[in-house]
Amino acid sequence: MSHLHTTTVHAGRDDFGALCVHAPPLDLSTTYPVRDLATGTASFDALVAGAAHADNPIYARLHNPTVARVEQAIASLEGTQACVAFASGMAALTAVLLERSQHGRHVLVVRPLYGTSDHLLASGLCGLEAEFVEAGEIAARRRADTVLVVIETPSNPTLNLVDIRAVVAAAGTVPVLVDSTFATPVLQRPAECGATWVLHSATKFLGGHGDVIAGVVCCDEAHAGALRSVRAATGALLHPLAAWLLHRGLPTLALRVERAQANAQLIAQRLAAHPAVAKVYYPGLPGSANAHLLGSQMSGPGALLSFELHGGHADAAAVMARVKLMTPAVSLGSVDTLIQHPAGLTHRVLDAATRAASGITPGLLRLSVGIEHVEDLWQDLAQALTGLAHAQAD
């Protein structure tokens, strides 16, 4: 299957012919009968050691066929050998950090990152020491005990693009994790740029309907085995019903992303011309930082944008209160449009200095554009922006 639109529809369905089913079966078993003890023991050993499957699933913390199907589907979309699913995006990142902590102590991290990822890394909770650097400093800051480089692109919430190939080159033998949540495999496939792990909060675009919390890590089979072992030991599982919902959302992924992106492009252009708006962060606008990566690393600018209001916190709060069609809420990547205030919500866990350095000002709002009709979205935003106390005169 060579074209993405076909893969989104058909991936993770290889066993349907043998099962004689047309839709993914949902297996809620917590345990599986072991009638042949020798097979059971061999399966148990294989799964604990990180095998993708075994003759007997044994126990749902070790393997679940419904989860394995969506993992296979997402691996196909990312172009990786494997994918390992977790209870959330944060559980997925935690698993990589725990696995890395077996090999060394030092992690290089490029800001800005998703607020809780930043917090998890900075806290040292997983036994690693995070050093926050600019992308250009990676080569100079590598140490003998550096076991991981973490980047997010596009980044949250200012939609910075980070050059994955340049980071991989600077990291040398140190493996790189790319949080590609904002891009989805429709717009960017970091493994093709040399990333070792591609992480998604599948809660966002992959799930796409605001009803699943999930995380995935796409990588080669050797690294996937290590992550499955961590998952079997720590139990941060994706529930089969969540996996089933996630799989159900995938066939429309490319359509959703393309439509939402087209909406976002038009809204970004109109916001940039609006008198209440001081600045718009969107990779699809002329003059955006690292815009040269569009068309090479990333095939389109995506469906997220942020904008800075002249009127600071007061105007941002007013817009959150006034929107009627858009939902004022955290999260992103759903079919419906969400608007939120990073300084007051998602990036609250960062200290004030880090927020300021990352461009997260009191007047910044982030929009996750959905698949509604763009004129309805614009009408809602325009009425929310009308007559703001601090709007600049035209």
Ligand X SMILES: *Cc1c(COP(=O)(O)O)cnc(C)c1O
Residues designated as active site? 61, 114, 179, 204
User: CA nearest 97: which of 126, 132, 117, 130?
Assistant: 126
Among 56, 117, 334, 358, indicate the residue that binds ligand X (CB under 6 A): 117
Interface with ligand X in residues 141-160 (CB under 6 A): 152, 156
Q: Facing residues of 368 across strands?
A: 304, 338
How many residues bind ligand X, per CB under 6 A? Answer: 16
Q: How far is the CB of 80 from ligand X (least distance, A)?
A: 18
Q: How far is the CB of 354 from ligand X (least distance, A)?
A: 16
* Percent of residues in the chain assigned helix, strand, coil, to nearest 5: 40, 15, 45
What mask, x for binding ligand X by CB under 6 A, covers residues 56 to 95?
--------------------------------xxx-----
Say if residues 330 and 302 touch (Cβ distance below 8 Å).
Answer: no
Q: How far is the CB of 213 from ligand X (least distance, A)?
A: 5
Among 85, 107, 138, 213, indicate the residue that binds ligand X (CB under 6 A): 213
Under the binding rule (CB under 6 A), the answer on residue 114 touching ligand X is yes
Interface with ligand X in residues 159-198 (CB under 6 A): 179, 181-182
Among 204, 239, 247, 341, indicate the residue that binds ligand X (CB under 6 A): 204
Cα angle 158, 310, 159 (rounded to 5 degrees) comes to 10
User: Helices in the chain by DSSP H: which ranges?
Assistant: 4-10, 16-19, 37-48, 65-78, 89-100, 115-123, 138-141, 164-171, 184-187, 221-234, 240-249, 253-272, 312-322, 352-357, 374-385
Interface with ligand X in residues 351-370 (CB under 6 A): none
Element (H, E) at 217: strand 215-219
Residue with tokens 């690393």: 297
Q: What is the DSSP letter of 272?
A: H
Question: Which residue has the CB atom at the shortest distance from ligand X?
Answer: 89
Q: How far is the CB of 181 from ligand X (least distance, A)?
A: 4
Residues that bind ligand X (CB under 6 A): 88-90, 114, 116-117, 152, 156, 179, 181-182, 201, 203-204, 213, 215
